[in-house]
Amino acid sequence: MTDDPSSSRRDIFLGVAAGGLATAMAAPALGQGAPAGTAAPAGSAPALTNPLERFPKPPFQMQSQPWPALQAKMTPVPDCGETSYRGSGRLAGRRALITGGDSGIGRAAAIAYAREGADVAINYLPAEQPDAEDVARHIRDAGRKAVLIPGDLRDEAFCARLVEQARAELGGLDILVSNAAYQHAQTALADITTEQLDQTMKTNVYAMFWITKAALPHLPAGSAIIVTSSINADRPSQQILDYACTKAANEAFVKGLAKQVIEKGIRVNGVAPGPFWTPLQVGGGQTEEGLKSFGGDTPLKRPGQPVELASVYVELAASTSSYTTGQIYGQTGGVGWP
């Protein structure tokens, strides 16, 4: 289950909790099939596209992979903007650390950030090295620096080293995206072992605390912290109770920390996706049945592709969002928010 599939999908919501964000988001630099680059040539607006017809719909082919799943082995391979995202210098000279930047939503953010002019460090698990190297290639092709830092976020000492290495190799840090997560579906509470609970909490909550604590003293005024939450924070699916609790914690953290650190000129926001086609789903996060119909019960009748979130991560990081903090940006396929 994902971020949910089947059950409570109908009453999910979407939306923009951030008041003025929707208008600020008006021009995502997408142009399917257009050449990638750091700047869109004048007069090359993306073609008018029907969102219902864009991207694959269910039923999806049955598939599963051992955790952590590789994006390159999915059918279809998620679209993270590799051939379509076009930047316009919105993050020129910025320096970003993204956890879970090898695949899915974090990968879409990493590619977009680089094409907007930022240098990017990504963290991932050692088993995900092939996906990570592919992201690095896209970052370098955009003319930016890519820093690959594999390691397990459940280890507090590693989290501190991660921030330190990213900062040292990028020459500073002003965008921090806590995006990595663990999700494993269990139909009954009794099946959630303490080991699973520990893995979900450590990856999704502890690591967010550890990384943010390590980074904060070094973030200059104007920096942006972004946490990937989920629709499950507000509308938990019954099969991923442990995961849903961590996502509610993500949102409480965003809203509280935003008040604390605005004194330093640092903004903190969250992104709450609905169903997105990513490796999280095929590595145990979703049942095979749920995967088959994934995203089909949203008004858009399909899951989102990570590239459809790229411009949200760019907007929340960019200085143009200077009045946006303590907000959660919902992107759930048209179900309403909250």
Binding status of residue 103 toward Mg ion by CB under 5 A: yes
Closer residue to Mg ion, CB minimum distance, 132 or 258: 132
* Three-class DSSP labels, 119-150: EEEEEECHHHHHHHHHHHHHHHHCCCCEEEEE
Please report, as residue ranges, which positions from 253 to 282 form the binding site for Mg ion (by CB under 5 A): 279
User: Burial letters for 45-75: b for 16+ Cβ neighbours within 10 Å, e otherwise?
Assistant: ebeeeeeeebbbbbebeeeeeebbbbbeebe
Q: Which of residues 263-322 bind ligand NAD (CB under 6 A)?
A: 273, 275-276, 278-280
> Which of the choices ligand NAD, Mg ion, none does residue 179 contact, using the CB cut-off of 5 to 8 A by kind?
ligand NAD
What residues pair up with 329 in beta bridges, in sequence order? 16, 271
298 binds, among Mg ion, ligand NAD, none (CB under 5 to 8 A by kind): none
Catalytic residue among 243, 313, 323, 329: 243
230 binds, among Mg ion, ligand NAD, none (CB under 5 to 8 A by kind): ligand NAD
Our CB check for ligand NAD shows the closer of 119 and 308 to be: 308
CB of residue 110 vs ligand NAD: minimum separation in angstroms? 11
Tokens for 109? 């953010």
102 binds Mg ion (CB under 5 A): yes
What six digits make up the tokens of 240?
């991923």
CA dist., res. 314 & res. 310, Å (int): 6
State which of positions 32-91 bind ligand NAD (CB under 6 A): 68
- Beta-carbon contacts of 237 under 8 Å, excluding residues fewer than 6 positions away, are 1, 2, 3, 4, 5, 7, 8, 244
Q: Is 243 a catalytic residue?
A: yes
- Among 65, 170, 189, smallest CA distance to 123 is for 170
Using CB under 6 A as the binding rule, the residues of this chain from 125 to 164 that contact ligand NAD are: 125, 128, 152-154
152 vs 289: CA distance, rounded Å: 30
> Per CB under 6 A, does 102 bind ligand NAD?
yes
Of 320, 238, 291, 278, the residue nearest 100 (C-alpha): 278
Q: How far is the CB of 123 from ligand NAD (least distance, A)?
A: 6
CB of 247 to ligand NAD, least distance (A): 6
Q: Would you say 19 or 126 has its CB closer to ligand NAD?
A: 126
Q: Is 128 in the site for Mg ion (CB under 5 A)?
A: yes
Burial class (CB in 10 A: 0-12, 13-18, 19+), 94: buried
> Strand pairing of 95-99 and 119-124?
parallel
User: Would you say 40 or 282 has its CB closer to ligand NAD?
Assistant: 282
Could you tell me if 127 and 235 are in contact, meaning their C-beta atoms sit under 8 angstroms apart? Answer: no
How many residues belong to the site for Mg ion (CB under 5 A)?
4
* Degrees, nearest 5: CA angle 35-101-48: 35
200 binds ligand NAD (CB under 6 A): no
Is residue 315 a contact point for Mg ion (CB under 5 A)?
no
Nearer to Mg ion, 80 or 201 (CB): 80
Which residues would be at the binding site for ligand NAD (CB under 6 A)?
2-3, 68, 100, 102-106, 123-125, 128, 152-154, 179-182, 203, 228, 230, 273, 275-276, 278-280
Task: Cite the active site residues.
Answer: 243
Which residues would be at the binding site for Mg ion (CB under 5 A)?
102-103, 128, 279
